[in-house]
Structure 1
Amino acid sequence: MANNVSQEEAMRRISVTTEINAPAEVVWAQLTDTATFAEWNPFMPRLTGSLTVGARIEVRITPPGAKGMTFRPTVTAAEENRKLEWLGRFLVPGLFDGRHTFTLTPTATGCTLVQEETFTGVLVGLMSSTLAKTEAGFRQMNEALKTRAERAAA
């Protein structure tokens, strides 16, 4: 029983879903145009590197009400107009890992964007307040991406 409890504490998922009135292709174009992030993205103002599987990228996040941080995850999925994912680790695997995913699903009026991160590791339980601010950052980014993509599609 104790093992189940500690495993529960060692994982946390944040997921924010946003309906966007623009085709997945338009949303994908905005999401992967990382050179423009500073212009519109309040949560992730900088992302550099190649969005190809196996590439290391550099990501700067600025959650609302929290100190910003830069990390260097590895891209684990890049399926055009559908899915972008990376895995970041703090120091060593199992300490504090984050698998960040953007998923686009076509709908009758555009697409659904799900931005999600699954955090695992022994430090997850100590990061509750930071993770709550991260969720607020996901909401800000999704809304900004929605606005930008809907303008581009108009």
Structure 2
Amino acid sequence: MLLDWMTTAPTLAEDPVQGFDPDAVTVSETVEIAAPARVVWDILCDMPRYAEWNPFCVRAVSTLDMGAAVDMTLVNYAVPGTLVPNCEYICAKVPERLISWEMKHSDFWPYPARRDQVIEPTGETSCRYFSTDAFLGANGIHVFRFAGPWVKRAFDDTARALKARAEAIHAAQTNHGA
């Protein structure tokens, strides 16, 4: 399973700063995508084009190297009509399967979290996608209670938009090659 880190991470009791609490995780809907995992992966890694399709993350800049910053501009679902800057760091990457970034705990921002975007191939020309956001540490459950509902909505919107983008690209590639 690609999210094995959830079963091996220190628990909240073991690490109240960065520990994992299974009750503080937002999970998007899972979408079935009629396109190869490679197409979905390429879209997720093509950050300069996020504004063309992603309704939640309208700007993203990163080298996608392990530990690299992911500088984002996000639509603020809690305050409609506003944008918020966000910077997290690449913490896991399995080509065509998983890309993850996290925000570590700091004195400035004591709200650590980890986002995982999962692609599961289901055939040569199909896959499924979902994402999670684990709110970590002692503050995680409070952040989850406040932000969980709008984060889920944002991730669901992103999943549906990713599906539409991947299927359109795959259809164009298939038709162009025919």
**TM-score in terms of structure 2 length:** 0.74
Once the two structures are superposed, residues 59-100 of structure 1 have per-residue CA deviations (whole angstroms, 9 ceiling, x without a partner) of 222243435422221101122111101111353499211111
- Moved runs in structure 1, 4+ residues, more than 4 A? 6-11
What is residue 54 of structure 2 aligned with on the other side? 41
C-alpha distance 12-94 of structure 1, shift in aligned 2 (>3 A): farther
What is residue 116 of structure 2 aligned with on the other side? 101
- Which of these residues, 4, 19, 27, is aligned with residue 32 of structure 2? 19
2:136 counterpart of 1:117: no
2:70 counterpart of 1:53: no
- The 8 Å contact of residues 76 and 85 in structure 1, kept in 2 or not, is answered as yes
What is residue 75 of structure 1 aligned with on the other side? 90
Describe the SS at the equivalent of 1:72: strand
Describe the SS at the equivalent of 2:24: strand
- Identity level (%): 26
Within 2, Cα distance between the matches of 1:24 and 1:48? 22
Q: Give the aligned residue type for 1:116.
A: T
What is residue 126 of structure 1 aligned with on the other side? 142
Cα deviation for residue 53 of structure 1 reads: 0.8
C-alpha distance 148-96 of structure 1, shift in aligned 2 (>3 A): same
Kindly report the root-mean-square deviation, in angstroms, between the aligned alpha carbons of the 2 structures.
2.6
- The 8 Å contact of residues 26 and 133 in structure 2, kept in 1 or not, is answered as yes
- The 8 Å contact of residues 20 and 134 in structure 2, kept in 1 or not, is answered as no
Within 1, Cα distance between the matches of 2:102 and 2:85? 14
Greater radius of gyration (CA) = 2
**TM-score in terms of structure 1 length:** 0.85
Structure 1 gaps of 5+ residues are: none
- The 8 Å contact of residues 77 and 84 in structure 1, kept in 2 or not, is answered as yes
Q: Give the aligned residue type for 2:121.
A: P
